[in-house]
Amino acid sequence: MFCTPQHYPSAKVIVPVAKIRNYLLKPGSKHYHEFIDVGYTPSKHVRLFKDIETEFDIDKASEYRQLPTGIQGFSVYMMLGVTKQRQFITCWKIVPYDNRPQFVTAYRIGKRGDTHV
């Protein structure tokens, strides 16, 4: 298993710590309130990682696409939340140096499929 201090330890997926701590749960960031609204907090960033890891299912991958870098990307919809569950879309890519998908981002999905800001 490839594991560095820059990534949460997981045999299933690669999730950079900075993606959770310095983006999703950083006050003022684009999707911060979407995660705070369902009970995640910056001090409990490992909980968000664990929930993403637990909910990840490659069999539920959809929206496959070729990224500008030539790397394959895809999405996985999942229910996330501590105080209440809401549907989020998570985006992933396949990196050439590892067979585990690497997390790119996540955000809420509105009732009509649009992002919920």
Average pLDDT over residues 77-99: 93
Average pLDDT over residues 96-104: 89
User: Cβ–Cβ contacts within 10 Å for residue 5, how many?
Assistant: 7
What pTM was estimated for this model as a whole?
0.85
Q: Where are the beta strands (DSSP E) in 13-98?
A: 61-66, 72-80, 86-94
pLDDT at residue 1 greater than cutoff 60? no
In a 13 Å sphere around the CA of 12, the CA atoms on its Cβ side amount to 10
pLDDT of residue 10: 84
pLDDT of residue 5: 64
Closest Cα partner for 45 from 62, 61, 29, 57? 29
